Structure 1
Amino acid sequence: MPQTLKTKVLVVGGGPGGYVAAIRAGQLGLETVLVEADRLGGTCLIRGCIPSKALIHAAGLYAEMAQAADLGRFGIHLKSKPRLDFNETVEWKESVVDRLSNGVAGLLKRANVKVLSGWATFSDAKTCTVAGAEGPIEVTAEHVILATGSVPAELAALPFGGPVISSTEALSLSQVPKHLVVVGAGYIGLELGIAYAKLGSAVSIVELQDRILPLYDVKLVEPVRRWLDRHDVTLHLGAKALGHGGRALAIEAAAGERLALPADRILVTVGRRPNTMGWGLDATGLAMEGPFVKVDDRCATSTTNVWAIGDLVGEPMLAHKASAQGEMVAEIIAGARRRFDPVAIAAVCFTEPEIVSVGIGPDEAPGGVELVVGQFPFQANGRALSMDAGGDGGFVRVVARKSDHRILGIQAVGRHVSELSAQFATLMEMGAVLEDVAGIIHVHPTLSEAVHESALKALGHAIHI
């Protein structure tokens, strides 16, 4: 017979949604158990957001040193090219992951959350059996928070295995592939493809649609497209991957011809799907909405006191959305009146250069709404120029309703612009108008001055252009 455990709150999944929900529940004095089959931190911390950004950072440093050896940079010259020990790079990346995962464990312990390591399988909506090293444990809870996340989507023609890898394996390779083919030109594929191009791979990108980053408008994407062109990353747009063999990927190109692309590794990044398999979803009797678990604006499912958050409940599949939902659900269980109704959720592509977008773009006006747009280039921003971030075509753009100047969207493309995302989201969430931004004294010299100038531009009196 398995051990039995009863608790107030059961959280299944230790990613940014689940562990935040568990910590907040513990802080609120709720008896809480968290179950995680892998390491604490989930996809984002262990095999996604954090390790990919570590790899991107290391790749950028290597590329800059290589340029200093070839041509010199800012008067800095190296006598020889840098030597890359990729195993050491991966070890450093793992040390960052380890530190953060251990930090999550410490936070859970401080919040008095009991952590069970093992795979949870539900027999009904409130009961699961956790299969772990210490034997099976049956857990029954008054409230269940499902935070099982998502997994990489496969292609029928390119199932994972051998040279065909997902983003998970791409972050733990033993060596930099000589030829890397990326199937899918969304943000995951481009982030990793650009990183490996900087590390020395010959990179080709295959995309079924006719442009890269199809969820973003052409002007935002153009600086990234130019970077790819300058660094000999080959694009096959409107192309279909057919299969692989003999260190090559067969594709059908846009014009209908068939090509064989050299490929030591084939990285498939065609999206992610909610992780609904293997943990007993059928036994819970939850209503579904397509592939996702159906929830209301409190993240409540169709079963009383069963909640679902994060990638499991739909787009956008972003870690910060999952964390916000997890915190909210814990507070609702504790008696608060909350609902998940953000004005907008910012998204970032850590490409070269980076892209940030929140709210609507200039071509997405709601019916009958007239827009005013202000755009300011980083080539006119002193901070950008002083760190060589002004020559890649980057800009900040603000989109506002013409009638009352209410900001409806803000976008940026350029080096380091991910750090502006919080200001963008704050302005949207606080209901700012153009005059609010124009009246804020922005620190000089910083990239944020471009936000100020974009608002001034929309008002018709930008100072520096």
Structure 2
Amino acid sequence: MAESASAKEFDILVLGGGSGGYAAALRAVQLGLTVGLIEKGKLGGTCLHNGCIPTKALLHSAEIADSARESEKYGVKATFDSIDMDAVNKYKDGVIAGKYRGLQGLIKSRGITVIEGAGKLASQTTVDVEGTVYTGKHIILATGSYSRSLPGLEIGGKVITSDQALTMDFVPKKAIILGGGVIGCEFASVWKSFGVDVTIIEALPSLVPNEDASIVKGFERAFKKRGIAFNTGTRFQSVEQNDDGVVVTLEDGKTFEADLMLVAVGRGPVTQDLGYEEAGLTMDRGYVITDERLHTGVGTIYAVGDIVPGLQLAHRGFSQGIFVAEEIGGLKPVVVADLNIPKVTYSDPEIASVGYTEKAAREKFGDDRVETHEYNLAGNGKSTIIGTGGLVKLVREKDGPIVGVHMLGSRMGEQIGEAQLIVNWEAYPEDVAPLIHAHPTQNEALGEAHLALAGKPLHG
């Protein structure tokens, strides 16, 4: 609901209405606390309007396009004509609008006071919203992130970020994507399915460099098979725009031409000119530094989500928002640990992972204290039916629990729920092996991998 002129004091002021901010607000009112939720844009933030939801809508359209092209392989005669971006955007925007209305209704029904406008931290207990000062016994900073560029690389014209890519009304013939992380690979997957000639430029030695080496190898092989080109291990140098598009030059002298270039080199924290330094918060490269309980060390100010160093994931911010609300409410919640937060790259194929990679586990426990097993999806009936390859990889502390699960394949993100339970509950392979996994499902692959690591492999 809109805030009234007299409602200026709250138990909690939340600066930012994205995933972390609105989750904190919703949990806080459940605990009987009054909440003022400050947002200059739309409730739901980047995830709902410019990130998670719209990109996944595009990815679903891309999946439909691929299904139409490949339908004859499955005994269905269909003709693929073209991509209608007006219709794609109408579908995407409809999904966003429906979720937005739902969130607005939920916030209103819970009695949260929504304060519209740009807020700035004015002191340890106050936030100035365009000239009006609000007071909170506690303040939660949740101002989110923005699409980052490289030093000296200006966004504009035919050099775009994901913000512009999500609203494009045409399909380019040829595109260069600067950055081979999650965002870059997801757009590469979409555009390839839309018929675009795509090349990814990544300075590091591989795509999705934070994932397990076995997954990366399989992922790159799958992208090559799809015809998605990538150049890794060489840094970007410059881009020139002309009437035909862009010419991109790398430090090794290689050049690439395309209709446009998408800059997908990560996201930066939205913290500049918001009064954080003036209030005494410790900052590092724009990020707000907190302790493990997300307290900033200043007064009763907390920070959550993308402005806190670590994984930049909507569900991380969401969980942190709930955590801080419960912390303020005196419930002493369990700390949200980045290591055990599930991650999914929603491309084709998908990557889903949680916990230690094999490399990180060996660094943590020692080479002789780590066991792994890889289960090939070729042995999984449902994966064969839907036409996907890939693998499930388990990382185990020797004679101990599973410390990492890594999966590659179409729709494998849907299996991350069980995987994160296994890792977070420190389950042993012997604990999971007796559990019954329905047949035929891709979920069986997770079960079979644990059977194998428990010493009783069936199909692999």
Q: Output the TM-score relative to the length of structure 1.
A: 0.93
Pick the aligned partner of 1:47 from 47, 50, 57: 50
Residue of structure 1 in register with 2:250 after alignment? 252
- AA of the residue aligned to 1:57: H
1:278 Cα deviation from its structure 2 partner: 3.2
The residue correspondences of 1:333-352 to structure 2 (distance < 5 A) are 333-342=328-337, 344-352=340-348
Q: Which amino acid aligns with 2:74?
A: F
Deviation string 1:33-64 (CA, Å, 9 cap, x unpaired) is 10111111111111101110000010111122
**Contact in 1 for aligned 2:372/2:396 (Cα 8 Å):** yes
Distance 1:62 1:278 in 2: 44
How many residues are matched? 449
Shift of 1:152: 1.3
Q: State the distance in 2 between where 1:144 and 1:371 align.
A: 43
Q: Offset of 1:341 from its aligned partner?
A: 4.3
Partner residue of 1:355? 351
Match of 1:431 in 2: 426
TM-score of the two chains, using structure 2 as the length reference: 0.94
Shift of 1:455: 1.1
Question: CA separation in 1, counterparts of 2:326 and 2:85?
Answer: 44
Report matched runs for 1:184-223 at 5 Å.
Answer: 184-223=179-218
Other-structure match for 1:57:
60
Q: Which residue does 1:77 correspond to in 2?
A: 77
CA contact (8 A) 1:3 1:137 kept: no
2:359 counterpart SS class: coil
Residue 397 (structure 1) aligned to one of 393, 397, 408? 393
Aligned partners of 1:9 and 1:144 also within 8 Å: yes
Instruction: After TM superposition, list the pairs within 5 Å mapping 1:30-41 onto structure 2.
Output: 30-41=33-44
Is residue 456 of structure 2 the alignment partner of residue 458 of structure 1? no
Indicate the SS of the match to 1:124: coil
Contact 1:223/1:353 (8 A) holds in 2: no
Q: 1:312 maps to what in 2?
A: 307
Q: Secondary structure at the match of 2:358?
A: coil
Name the structure 2 match of 1:137.
Answer: 132
Letter in 2 for 1:76: V
Letter of the structure 1 residue corresponding to residue 70 of structure 2: Q
Paired amino acid for 2:110: A
Residue 29 of structure 1: aligned partner: 32
Q: Which region of structure 1 is more displaced relative to structure 2, 43-52 or 114-123? A: 114-123
For residues 219 and 237 of structure 1, the distance between their equivalents in structure 2, rounded to whole angstroms, comes to 17
Q: Please tell me whether the aligned partners of residues 144 and 307 of structure 1 are also in contact (alpha carbons under 8 angstroms).
A: yes
Write the distance in 2 (CA, Å) between the matches of 1:243 and 1:125: 44
Q: Tell me by how many angstroms 1:313 deviates.
A: 0.9
Q: Deviations over 1:115-169 (max 9, x none)?
A: 11211122223222223xxxx4321111100001111111124211111111111
Amino acid at match of 1:412: M
Contact map agreement 2:65 2:80 (CA 8 A) in 1: no
Percent identity, aligned pairs only? 32
CA contact 1:55–1:89 (8 Å) conserved in 2: yes
CA contact (8 A) 1:375 1:458 kept: no
Residue 221 of structure 1 and its aligned partner are, at CA, apart by 1.8
- Deviation of 1:223 after TM superposition, in Å, equals 3.0
Cα distance in structure 2, aligned partners of 1:282 and 1:373? 46
Q: Distance in 2 between matches of 1:321 and 1:207?
A: 26
What SS does the aligned partner of 1:439 have? coil
8 Å contact from structure 2 (residues 188, 198) kept in 1: yes
Aligned-residue Cα RMSD (Å) equals: 1.7
CA distance in 2, matches of 1:336, 1:386: 47
Partner-residue secondary structure (3-state), 2:70:
helix
| Counterparts of 1:400 and 1:282, CA distance in 2 | 43
8 Å CA contact 1:194–1:352 kept in 2: the answer is yes
Structure-1 separation of matches of 2:450 and 2:21: 38
Whether the aligned pair in 2 keeps the contact of 1:358 and 1:424 (CA below 8 Å) is yes
- SS of 2:73's partner is coil
1:181-330 to structure 2, matched below 5 A, reads 181-241=176-236, 242-246=238-242, 247-252=245-250, 256-259=252-255, 261-330=256-325
Unpaired stretches in structure 1, ≥5 consecutive residues:
none
- Following superposition, the deviation at residue 218 of structure 1 comes to 2.9
Instruction: Render the CA deviation track for 1:423-459: whole Å, top value 9, x for unaligned.
Output: 1111111121111111111111111111111112112
How far the C-alpha of 1:224 sits from its partner, in A, is 2.5
Letter in 2 for 1:346: P
- 1:262 is displaced (CA, Å) by 2.2
CA distance in 1, matches of 2:40, 2:240: 32
Task: Detail structure 1 runs of 4+ shifted over 3 Å in the superposition.
Answer: none
**Aligned-pair distance for 1:90?**
0.8
Distance in 2 between residues matched to 1:258 and 1:84, nearest whole Å: 32
Which residue is equivalent to 1:376?
375
| Offset, 1:228 | 2.3
Aligned partner of 1:8 among 8, 11, 18: 11
| Aligned partners of 2:10 and 2:34 also within 8 Å | yes
1:3, CA displacement in angstroms?
5.6
Kept in 2, the 8 Å contact 1:286–1:293? The answer is yes
Gaps of 5+ in 2: none
